[in-house]
Amino acid sequence: MLHFSAVSDEDHDFSHQAGGDNASKTYPMAAGALKKGGYICINQRPCKVIDLSVSKTGKHGHAKVSIVATDIFTGNRLEDQAPSTHNVEVPFVKTFTYSVLDIQPNEDPALPSHLSLMDDEGNSREDLDMPPDQALAAMIKEQFDAGKEVMVVVVSAMGIEQVLQTKNVLVGEIGNEAVL
């Protein structure tokens, strides 16, 4: 005969199963399933895999994967190793494209300017700053000041959002003129 008893969540502490602060920002993947160009978390940072190598199976039966990656926001090079059958954390990475509506200087000149952006559906956002990459920020400002339509690519991963590149807006010309 089976006996069932009511157990409430209060009787158990499930907090340790949440996976930490990055639980909804990452997902597990076997290290052996990683691909060049894919993503991985190294030292709690979202990274893009630039090189992978797999060592032979050792005496304990696990092949090791050596991973070389760059932080997608800082460009810093990071390395890690993991047994090929063990799970590593992979960040959810999303990219969005926005039109730049305006660039507002920060009250503190030492801090980056604020961007006013709009997506394809007409939704605007005012919560992003110019990128920390000075060359990219200068290019965005130069194109915007010249009256060109500026499109920026925003990457979102692990609670961080940042402008990482611009896109050229294609403008058709009449005749044999070049297309930008």
| Backbone φ, ψ for residue 101 (5° rounding) | -90, -35
How far lies 112's CA from each of 117, 125, 128, 133, in Å? 15, 16, 10, 10
CA atoms of 64 and 99, how far apart (whole Å): 44
Asked if residue 93 lies in contact with residue 156, where contact means CB atoms within 8 angstroms, the answer is yes
Residue with the two structure tokens 């190793």: 81
CA atoms of 7 and 54, how far apart (whole Å): 46
Whats the size of the chain, residue-wise?
180
Asked if residue 116 lies in contact with residue 128, where contact means CB atoms within 8 angstroms, the answer is no
pLDDT at 74: 94
Over residues 127-152, the pLDDT tens digits come to 999 999 999 999 999 999 999 999 99
pLDDT at 171: 54
Asked if residue 128 lies in contact with residue 161, where contact means CB atoms within 8 angstroms, the answer is yes
pLDDT at 110: 87
Quote the Cα angle for 120-121-126, to 5°: 80
Over residues 60-70, the pLDDT tens digits come to 777 899 999 99
Structural domains in the chain plus CATH codes = 26-91 (2.30.30.30), 93-168 (2.40.50.140)
DSSP 43-109: TTEEEEEEEEEEPPP-TTS--EEEEEEEETTT--EEEEEEETTSEEEEE-EEEEEEEEEEEE--SST
pLDDT at 96: 95
Paired sense of beta strands 124-129 and 64-71, if any = unpaired
Verdict on whether the full-model pTM lies above 0.85:
no
**Residues in the chain where the model's pLDDT stays below 70:** 1-23, 58, 169-180
Residue 143 Cα to chain centre, angstroms: 25
